[in-house]
Amino acid sequence: MPTEAKRIFVSNRLPFSINMKTGDLQRGSGGLVSALLGVSLKRPFFWMGFETNEKMARLLKRHAPEITPQLQCQPVLLRRETYEAYYDGFCNDTLWPLFHYEGHLSVFNRDQWEAYREANRVMAAEIAKIATDNDTVWIHDFHFLLLPQFLREHLPQVKIGFFLHIPFPSAEVFRQLPVREEILQAMSHCDLIGFHEHSYLRQFIVALKALLGIDSSLFRAEVGNHTLHLGVYPISIDSETLMRKSRSDEVKAQSEQYREKSPLPYMVLGVDRLDYTKGLELKLMGFQRALRKYPELIGKMGLLQVAVPTRQKTPQYAKIKKDLDQLVGSINGEFGQPHYMPVHYIFNSVNEIQLLALYRNAQAALITSKRDGMNLVSMEYVMAQDLENPGVLILSEFAGASSFLSEAIIVNPWDADAVADALYRAFTMTFDERQERLATLQRILSRYSSTKWAEGFLHDLEEVEKTSPEGALFLPPRRLEWPAHFVRVLKRQTKLRLVVDYDGTLVALARRPEFAVLLEDMRQALTELCEKIEVYVLSGRSREFLDSQFPNRLVFLAAEHGAFFKPPRGEWHSQVTSDIQAWYPQVEKVMLDYSERVPLSFVEKKEASIVWHFRESPPDFAEFQAKKLDDELQIGMANAPVAISLGDKIVEAKATECNKGNFLRSLMQTASDDYFYVCIGDDRTDEDMFRVLGNQGYSIKVGPAETQARFRLQNQAQVLKFLREFSVFMDETFVLEPEQRKW
């Protein structure tokens, strides 16, 4: 009887910690902890996160069920040096500033990147120890951008969800990251990726297209034969619990004390971590502008700013504190009076009772984030407020919450006048308008809690239709991790044929065609396979080039997409019957014209085809000209026996017989015995071969592009590993007998 599918949550930190002084187990107070524990209390689930202390890890694993019986806490041990380089280094010094549009503060360090890779690999291996293909894994935040790919290599069919809790930057900013393609490719292995806000999703989509060439809609992206689902899921807070706590006797008593001691009739509250993303200097400058622009506010409006310390040893954070101290002093010096201090600045954290009391007391909350994934302080302020004495929320348009909290006053924090006007508007707003706005916001948050957020994401993730094992998404490079169905079917075959592309498959794509020569280790792998099965190299290359790369080899060669064929130790035979001269001179003239227009482009002439290459050309300009050339030839050659195709940095015109699908079909039809085919390729021309193959073999796509293939190798470097392991598999299974060799 199958076991119930597990839910496995993954975050950098676990939901519990050990008090170092008392040894007591403490539950985390963050919104994510409340959201995920709230949604999963009814069924067993796992929560995995890093721990650097082995003793602490044992205690957490042992005692977590005492607080949450259904939870199995799984600390993952990571060496402290690795953790510091991964978390303090790459996460906080590279990703955090870049994703918050502070690229000038982002520092890329190759050693820290390798530590980040290692941490993600360690987590994937630990998840694989407890997960099965039927389980659901929900990964949280920028600490694990590579984890989906590493996990997919272990568990091809597991459902993987990923939620980004910070903004996703514009493609232009994201391009600054040296490892941008690797990160996007890893993320594309997810089944569902969620964002707080539509703009983050749109920016991710643009990056997919710009950097990986993957087209997508707002709902999904087709990554080969895999569908990556996309969605917007604005996180919320535990609204009901927070509202109940804010009305407790302790909070009311604390709130009364604040009111008695405060000399100001109108208090504006700010609660932020001391981080450059929060725009604290913009808040102070906006408040300063309000006092200058509206002098009637002097003596009546004050700003209470709680700045929670963070990363105090980091020089840039120390500078932020110094600059803020000076700005606070400047404002108080300009507007202060014997009984009036405009800015009350607290560089410290406050406990929950104090915070809720401040929320209830404040007539307005001012949030001026430069960039913010969501900003839960804005929501907490709304739910802690009293409708009988309603306050006003002023919220930066660059906080994700601005798209959700429609009744807040939305401001551009860089516009000091706009912030000043918003403060004055809040100060002069009527009771009825304040109450109506607050009531609407509370109604929104009451109906959409953090638990609703988590349930909504998990529902969509678990509803995703997975591909069948026969169409497994990835073919991992390690033989023991090949999909079981793949191995099982191959073992049933008595005769196999390997049909493999050349450029981008056997060799890496090169700047110029003549540079893409076969390396010795690949020659050796093919030679070993030729002793066991029939190997066909089916390429767009010319006869002369293939002869130069495979002299005296036991490989079957097919040049110009199958227009010419040569068996081992045999002669070349032409398959072309159409009139090439009916189109070749005209196409050549047009292509030569484009090679004059586009710098570093050139024309490669072959017998039955002709190719315009632009790999070295300025990319944007060349891509546009390639589409124009393709369109011109498609129309001009519509009635000629020629096929025009736009490929990877090429536009190709070829005789109708130059078709890998037609070649494979002919090969399959003329075979005296039933062969099982394994076909590997990376280009659009290989899709013709994959379509023809159908159920008579296995098709394998190299690279991330959309495909009809049933399996995938992630890049050209994995082809050699696959062929070597394929050879080992042949040794263990069967070998082609000498009488079966037809050459």
703 CA to centre of own chain: 17
Which residues, in sequence order, are CB contacts of 189 under 8 Å at separation 6+? 148, 149, 151, 152, 160, 226, 473, 474
First to last CA, the chain: 53
How many Å apart are CA 499 and CA 731, to the nearest integer? 19
Q: How are beta strands 71-77 and 45-51 bridged, if at all? A: parallel
Using DSSP's 3-state secondary structure scheme, residue 591 falls into helix
Choose the catalytic residue: 372, 501, 683, 686: 501
SS (H, E, C) 491-502: HCCCCEEEEECC
Phi, then psi, of 654 in degrees rounded to 5 = -145, 150
Report yes or no: 236 and 453 within 8 Å, Cβ to Cβ: yes
Q: Quick one: which of 366, 365, 410, 368 has its CA closest to 385?
A: 365
Active site residue 501: yes
Which residues, in sequence order, are CB contacts of 336 under 8 Å at separation 6+? 342
Which residues, in sequence order, are CB contacts of 281 under 8 Å at separation 6+? 320, 323, 324, 327
DSSP for 114-165 reads: HHHHHHHHHHHHHHHHH--TT-EEEEESGGGSSHHHHHHHH-TTSEEEEE--
DSSP 8-state assignment for residue 637:
T
Task: List the 602-605 sheet strands across, edge first.
Answer: 602-605, 609-613, 650-655, 642-646
Burial class (CB in 10 A: 0-12, 13-18, 19+), 34: buried
Q: Which helix (H) or strand (E) holds 8?
A: strand 7-10
SS3 content of the chain, % helix, strand, coil (to 5): 45, 20, 35
Report yes or no: 631 and 596 within 8 Å, Cβ to Cβ: no
Report yes or no: 702 and 716 within 8 Å, Cβ to Cβ: yes
Phi, then psi, of 445 in degrees rounded to 5 = -70, -30
Q: Which helix (H) or strand (E) holds 232?
A: strand 226-232
How many Å apart are CA 740 and CA 743, to the nearest integer? 9
Q: Quick one: which of 470, 381, 542 has its CA closest to 695?
A: 470
Within a 10 A sphere around the Cβ of 396, how many other Cβ atoms? 28
How many Å apart are CA 29 and CA 26, to the nearest integer? 9
Q: How many helices (H) and strands (E) does the chain have?
A: 26, 28
479: left (phi over 0), alpha (psi -120 to 50) or beta: alpha
DSSP for 330-345 reads: HHHHHH-BTTB-SEEE
Report yes or no: 16 and 64 within 8 Å, Cβ to Cβ: yes
Residues serving a catalytic function are 501
